[in-house]
Amino acid sequence: MKLTLNKFHVKDIQFAEKSSFEGGVLYIDKAELAEYLLKDSNISSVDFDIARPGESTRIIPIKDVIQPRYKKSGTGQIFPGFVGDVETVGNGETNVLEDCCVATSGKIVAFQEGIIDMSGPGAEFNSFSKMNILVPLIQPIEGLDKHTHEATVRIAGLKTAAYMAKQTLELEPEETQSFEHETILEMGVKYPDLPKVIYVDMVQCQGLMHDTYVYGLNVKGILSTLISPLEVFDGAIVSGNCAAPGHKNATIHHENNPIILDLLKHHGKDICFVGVLLSNESAMLKEKMRAAYYTSNLSRIIGVDGIIASEEGGGNPETDLMLNCKFHEQKGIKTVLVTDEYCGRDGASQGLADVTPEADAVVTNGNGNQFVVLPKMDKIIGDIEAARVITGGNANSIGDDGTLSVEIAAIMGSCCEMGYEHMTTRLR
């Protein structure tokens, strides 16, 4: 399987009478895009705003962050099950907008939504502040239940991202990046002496608006499954998660999963990267046991020597993480865990809700309880009052002087457990 990413670098986003991509500028016809999104009868109104790197701008609340992509050739379409039909992706050519993303906002969906500051100390906690951001402000119809509200905003964001990248279809990319990944049988022949490694991608599916979708299917209740890393880059995994913004895997994180990227770089050189195992994180202990047992059994059947497992979320998902570690190690499979911590503002408390003696190789991506004071911004996109109720904020978070006092858990992606940000994980 081969996937080529055609990359276009976005220097700016501007509103215009016609959507296009010219000279590094993405022009967006607001009326045309709004008409497209308003085909969803659950949206009463939609507006758009733009945030640029270095501006005195704060976006709050944010539901999801998405990198614009659109398939130029090959089977399927980006974000299958939502934008494209349910058809296998991970092949052909996909156009990608770099230095650019979509951040969905509007009426708050749930308390676990986040903040992006485009300048100041808050901007240092995520890479989104270095991107040109289009913000769809989605207002649902009155009386919409929260689960339908979440789905409405999620799909609107995916459609917006696909619409943006589609503007490059007839253009030549500035650069390309190609990935190839063989079948397991082919790997066994080509790399018989290399240690076989699999990536266990733990995905939230606890209900209660903590959900992840694969080919449009909520992974809640599925048994662990093998997926090609190239499918992940092509939008097969989509966030529907209202977990704490600091450590939820937004859709952009799945599209650019740094653990997968690094494993592919080492594939065929010093390791044999077999593929990605999706292991779901349930709220029930019986289901946690089932997922971890089944994941470790698949690893044993495939014959891997080691795994890297990354967590999503925190608290009871640490039990999923430790069970995956324990059961793999008991089968003789070496395990490395990737997580973050919540160890109090002074860093003195226990960082994880669960541990196991087998967890002797653990990488952390920061302390979500770290406290910061964010300066007043000249422009607010969204509703600053959301800071009083979102994760990491409190009733007194908004100062009289316009400052914002929060834990970094409130900042989108600050402690990403895939190692996407500057508090990061890298395979050397």
User: Is residue 313 a contact partner of residue 409, using CB atoms and an 8 Å limit?
Assistant: no
**Is 242 marked active-site?**
yes
Q: How far is CA 215 from the centre of its chain?
A: 15
Q: How buried is 192 (Cβ within 10 angstroms: 0-12 exposed, 13-18 middle, 19+ buried)?
A: exposed
Nearest alpha carbon to residue 36 among 19, 20, 13, 51? 19
Which amino acid, 214? V
φ/ψ (deg, to 5) at 150: -60, -45
Structure tokens at 216: 């449009």
φ/ψ (deg, to 5) at 149: -60, -45
Alpha-carbon distance of 126 to 110, in angstroms, equals 21
Residue tagged active-site, from 100, 101, 205, 242: 242
Which amino acid, 148? T
Helix, strand or coil, per DSSP, at residue 416: coil
Structure tokens at 241: 């998660």
Residue with token string 């979440």: 150
Structure tokens at 28: 């967006």
Residue numbers annotated as active site: 242
